[in-house]
Structure 1
Amino acid sequence: MLAFLYPGLGHVYLREWLRALVWFFLNVTSFTLLMPADAVPETFGWSELVAAAENVTPEAALALAAITVFSMIDAYWMAKRQNTETEVEEGTTCPNCGRDVDSDLEFCHWCTERLNPESDEAEETADDSGANA
């Protein structure tokens, strides 16, 4: 949603600094090159903004809208890629309550469920067979 407000803000949120600068630069450059001088209001009031909007060419409006949409799509893809890279690895969630736990614990500190009961049983069986020999 930040990329909708201004192209590049979504990338700033994701800490993708180079991409954010590229989107900022692209938007500012496109605005500078495509906007006619009479489309930029000198004062900010409702009537001045309406007059400025009427002076914007359709090509300029389409180009700036396209930059905004592509910035939003790129920020979404970057966020999705970062989220898949930081997903919880297998074995660091409790099988009982589903919360994150430390991998070095033998039990869940949230619900006190034993973690990896299969490996505990295998160790006990190995200890029993070693004691019988």
Structure 2
Amino acid sequence: MSTRNNTRPWLAVVLAFLYPGLGHVYLREWLRALVWFFLNVTSFALLMDEEAMPETTSLDALFRAAENIPPEAALALVSITVFSMIDAYWMAKRQNRDAAVQEGTTCPNCGRDVDPDIDFCHWCTERIAPESESEDSGSGV
């Protein structure tokens, strides 16, 4: 069984701020990363006016194009970025929680440290390993 290192949720957020989907690449969530990349690129392509697109790729032309972005396009692109940041943060927190539960170090219900030798949390009495219960019931013992 391989264990996953804890991810840094705020690093995923910063990467998603730089470009939607980069935070998901850091989290190794490839399909989500592609969805965010695709959503950002298609929104940009569909919402931008032809007049706002630069003829050259110089830095000055890109700054002038950024000034001519329609408000609805800017709102859509900012919204995509914010939702990508929220999703990256949520996914990183979930991966950390799932990794801790798989290692048996924290309770999935209350989040406190538990003894890996017992199959319930001695803090809240929540069962920790329900998959082992189903294996035991199928063995006929």
Amino acid at match of 2:26: Y
Match of 1:11 in 2: 24
For residues 42-86 of structure 1, the C-alpha deviation after alignment (integer angstroms, 9 at most, x for no partner) is 324443233212211011001000000000000100000000111
**C-alpha distance 90-16 of structure 1, shift in aligned 2 (>3 A):** closer
The alignment status of 1:53 with 2:66, answered yes or no, reads: yes
Aligned-residue sequence identity (percent) comes to 72
Count of residues in correspondence between the two structures: 93
For residues 77-96 of structure 1, the C-alpha deviation after alignment (integer angstroms, 9 at most, x for no partner) is 000000011125349xxxxx
In 1, the alpha carbon distance for the partners of 2:60 and 2:38 equals 29
Q: How does 1:54-133 map to 2 (within 5 A)?
A: 54-87=67-100, 89-90=104-105
Structure 1 runs (4+) deviating above 4 angstroms are: none
The alignment status of 1:25 with 2:32, answered yes or no, reads: no
Contiguous gaps of at least 5 residues in structure 1: 92-102, 104-133
CA root-mean-square deviation: 2.1
In 2, the alpha carbon distance for the partners of 1:17 and 1:38 equals 34
- Provide TM-score, normalisation by structure 2: 0.59
In 1, the alpha carbon distance for the partners of 2:58 and 2:18 equals 20
- Provide TM-score, normalisation by structure 1: 0.63
Say which one has the larger Rg: 1
